[in-house]
Structures are given as C-alpha cells and as structure tokens.
Amino acid sequence: MKKELKEGMRDGIPIGLGYLAVSFSLGVAAKSAGLTAFQGFIASLSNNASAGEYAGFTVIAANAAYLEMALMTLIANARYLLMSCALSQKFAPDTPLKHRLLVGYDVTDEIFGITIARPGPLEPYYTYGAIIVAAPCWAVGTALGVIAGNLLPLRAVSALSVALFGMFLAVIIPPARKNRIVALFVLVSFLASFAAANLPLVSQLSSGTRTIILTVAISAVAAALFPVREEEEAVA
Amino acid sequence: MKHNIYVYLGIMAAITYAIRVLPLTLIRRQIKNRFLRSFLYYVPYVTLAVMTFPAILESTQSPVAGAAALAVGIIAAWCGAGLFPVSVSCCAVVFVLELFII
C-alpha cells in the first residue's frame, strides 16, 4: 500500500468518528423530512455535506420546487466553492484530471483542513486515504440516524438534534474570535435570521428561501463594506 | 404536487459535486476580483449562522434547552474545543436540562 494512502487513512479515523456522531443527527433530520434509511444513506454518500444536506432536507420537508432545491444547495455549499478554489492553487500544475475529479468528491471542512495543512503540493493518495475511512462513516451514520431516530426516546432525539448546530458553531465561532468583522456578521446574521422568521410577509417564505436571500444580501454587504485582505482568507 | 425524493437527491448531488469539482478542474490561476473573493469569504459564516438561529430553538422539545445549547456551543467553540466536543456538549446540556424542564 502506498505510504501516503496509509497516512491518510490514519488521519481519517478521528474524522470518521466525528462524522458518525454528527451524521446521526443529520439522519434524525432526514427522517423528519420523510426520507428512508436508504435515501438518507444515498444523500450522504453523494453529498458529503452537513449544512448542504440539512438545508436540502428542509426543502424536501417543505415539498418546495426543484429550482429552490438547486439554489438552496448552491448557497448552503458555497463555502466548498471557496475551499475548492483554495485547493486548486495547491495542486501541482501537471496533476492529471482524474485526480482533480476524485478529490472533488469529498471536499469537506475536515478533509479540506488536513489536505491543505499537509506541506508541499497536494498528494491525492493522502486525501483518498482519509476519504475511504471518513465518507462511509458519514453515510452509515446518517442511515443509523434515520433508523434509530424511531427507536430512541423523544428525550434523546431532542438532545441529538442539536449536534448538527453544535458542529456549525464549531465552524463559525473560532474565526469569529480571531476576526471582529466575522464576529460582527455572525451576530448580524443571527439577528436578521430571527427577524425574518418572525416578521409578517417575510416569515411566509420558506426557511430555505429566507436562508438564500439573507446569505446573499448579508455577505454582499460585508464584502462591499469590509473587503478582505489576502492574509485574512487563510483562516477560512 | 408531491415531488420525487430521488429527483431532489439527484439535484443535490449534481450541484454539490459541480461546486467542488469545477474550481479544481477549471481554475489554474488565482481569482483576482476582490469583491468576489470577499463575498466567498463571508458566505460560509453567514449561511451557517442564519441556519443555526433561531432554528436551534425549535429543534428541541423546550426552546429554553435550545437556547442553552446555543450558549454552551458558542462558549465551547470560543474556548477552542473541536467539532466533536462542541457537538457533544450541546447535546449533553439539552439532555440534562430537559430532564428537569419536561
């Protein structure tokens, strides 16, 4: 076995364990949107995205238009666009297309993190090692969440349903601590989202549509008022 | 009309993959536009924040427990806890609080 593949698998184990727990709560969300365990498994295996899948399940639950699903997926996963842009700069220029296509399968916060943190040009086999271990955990955890969401007492489901939000907080709070502008806009987003959920007219829109509108508007205002310098982007 | 779940899943998968793979295959040099770079930089934080609040209050049996989970999650992440510990502490606080509230 290639040395890089082995190293990747080793680093993929803690990621996989975390995935197993968090995707379980995603499975609970999938179940309440009406998905079967098999559909939850397929969704996770083909998406590898926490926020994106969660957002997608809210669209399914609302029986909203396919166009809304497309827009929602685009917005909720926009950060992967940014990560892939960053990763594109790390590939050796002569890297064959097949490696670019395969690495693109699983650009998540964690896989991106360990891939970009590894010194030198991107080594695809290292990333594959981590993916082989972590991606099945994500899919299996989701299926288990759909199944066991039924068997668990309501109290336990209630507790597990915040695991996903905990993960979101773990992604946004550390950069907010380092960067006051990010902290400001996290706060603005909380307030605007709360207002949009309660104001007349706006609250009639589906939660997915509200998320899309708020994300585009707030991010555009932030980008116009506080354009980032190169060195700040490194923390993203 | 009831939409087909597999069509939904297909759209999700296709768009998610496109988002990840297009930059990897098409971009061979740096993005220069400063507004676009800044916009992409802020999007992840804004979208996750919008999705977290107030939805976290509605996800638990008692909104008070959801609010406590939000506070504990923010504090834990602020203190440098990783993804898994933050998630677990949010779950734990909801479980314990709802033993008393409900």
Whether B47 and A79 lie within 8 Å, measured CB to CB: yes
Q: Give the integer Cα–Cα distance in Å for A145 and A41.
A: 10
Instruction: Name the average pLDDT for chain B.
Output: 89
Low-confidence ranges of chain A (pLDDT < 70): 117, 208, 230-236
Asked if A146 and A25 touch (Cβ cutoff 8 Å), the reply is: no
Is the four-CA dihedral A114, B47, B71, A161 of positive or negative sign? negative
* Domain ranges, ordered by start, for chain A: 3-161, 179-236
Complex ipTM value: 0.86
Contact: B47, A69; criterion CB under 8 Å = no
Q: What separation in angstroms does the CA of A63 have from each of A182, B11, B38?
A: 33, 14, 33
The structure tokens listed for B76 are: 């834990």
Could you report the per-residue pLDDT of B15-45, keeping only the tens digit for each?
999 999 998 888 876 667 888 888 878 887 8
What is the structure's pLDDT at B30?
66
Q: Work out the average pLDDT over B34-61.
A: 86
Helices H / strands E in chain B, number of each: 5, 0
Predicted pLDDT of residue A158: 81
Of B13, B40, B56, which is closest to A47 when you measure between CB atoms? B13
Chain A positions in Cβ-Cβ contact with residue B11 (cut-off 8 Å): 66, 69-70, 73
How wide is the angle at C-alpha B43 spanned by C-alphas B37 and B48, nearest 5°?
Answer: 155
Residue B96 to residues A42, A44, A105, B73, B100, Cα–Cα distance (Å): 33, 30, 38, 15, 7
The pLDDT of residue A232: 60
Q: What is the mean pLDDT of residues B45-68?
A: 90
Phi, psi for A208 (deg, rounded to 5) = -65, -45
